[in-house]
Structure 1
């Protein structure tokens, strides 16, 4: 590996990993990544990325792949695509640690918070199978031997190809007055490079925009903006309110999305 400039390896060049790789490369990082899609590997390789075609559900190699040797490893692998999620990520992180990875950023999720109410980083107590799996994965990567680990607990992901107007359209749900907890792709592409530039990583941070309209209001507008049948909601509900302000205080960087209705209007105008 060349020694000039910072380097990042991204396991999972998907909805977040691919544009993040492009963003970091444009900022002068040497970027490598993995995908299970041969066509994507060819396309990204032609754009100057070092890409390994790798399905981590298969047997892991005996040592960390040379293409992925880097200063920092970013795990962008959603649980639905990995068998035995916590164990697999833990073994992968251990392999990375043995291969010289010094920092690991894991894109976790706010499903680690169970029950209603205001949730800060100290309140992890899952009440779902998904949340338990995610918290177990956090623990596994922290115990893998990488010197510095940051678990980013991402709220609901929107932007790019993830169109919220289609999420709930035409269906019926409870909890219409519960707050939405979301983060936009464009904010993640600002926040993660800012995190990489810092040396004083905390152990975990929530990533959630500060605007929390009701599910009824947000998803109704999102569907109508796309010409879709809006969802119907029964009842109210307190819901969870994810507090993403610790990140902004630490980075001294505000979320770009401060108003989800304005964000929906901007997306509609760009069509």
Structure 2
């Protein structure tokens, strides 16, 4: 896939900002949005056509020319958007009318309910968050953009997201449930590789193949940061997200295949 058509990243945050840097390094023309004017100015100096846009405000009547791109990546978490599914649907429809022909939506594995191993064919939410994410997937697919890939991300760690702090010192149920996680470093490898492909599948999961129990992982993560470990009650079967289809399709293995080694490396690296 040529880099000439450019990429627009809606949401230059935890994932969007380092992704923009990675794509610039590969020769892409990159545009994107943030709600922070100072951050937008800094990103412009770094080569990103960054624009200030609060998507909870009135949307433009047409897709902004400054955000014109062949591919659009939606990196906006639901907690920051009012009426999430409808808003993303309207944005995607604007983008379609503005010439965007491929959309990658960073969805979430909350669309999977129940227990056991979950593949891309198994969506059936059992939570309000999962229902909201699945509704957002439906809305962006109805936008008129020719290719839409819903990339269902497991729990996000790496960068500023330090898992040792997530549950430290708190009490939780389900200590024996498996963790489903993906590291920022793997996302920054996978997403550019996806953009380089001409044809996209409908849906892909992103989840490291290592699924230790919540008790094991979060206890180790807290102790390595000298934080009080969480206290877990009960067991729980939980669900395990199968992210192998992505690796097979791309021919690109996960870099993080042992979360305990990853935690130790982060501790050593400070």
TM-score by length of 1: 0.98
Aligned length: 269
* Match in the other structure for 1:236: 235
Q: Does 1:87 align with 2:86?
A: yes
* Match in the other structure for 1:138: 137
Deviation at 1:5, TM superposition (A): 2.1
Deviation at 1:4, TM superposition (A): 7.4
Cα RMSD of the aligned pairs, angstroms, is 0.9
The 2-side partners of 1:67 and 1:118 are apart by 43
What 5-or-longer segments of structure 1 have no aligned partner? none
Deviation at 1:39, TM superposition (A): 1.3
The 1-side partners of 2:66 and 2:74 are apart by 15
The 1-side partners of 2:179 and 2:102 are apart by 31
Map Cα deviations across residues 48-97 of structure 1 (whole Å, 9 max, x no partner).
11011000111110110011100100000000000000000000000000
Superposed, 1:61-72 pairs within 5 Å as 61-72=60-71
Q: Does 1:5 align with 2:26?
A: no
* Match in the other structure for 2:169: 170
What 5-or-longer segments of structure 2 have no aligned partner? none
The 1-side partners of 2:120 and 2:46 are apart by 38
The 2-side partners of 1:4 and 1:169 are apart by 43
Q: Does 1:97 align with 2:96?
A: yes
Q: Does 1:268 align with 2:267?
A: yes
* Match in the other structure for 2:43: 44
> Which is worse superposed, 161-170 or 5-14?
5-14
* Match in the other structure for 2:221: 222
> Following superposition, which runs of at least 4 residues in structure 1 exceed 6 angstroms of deviation?
none
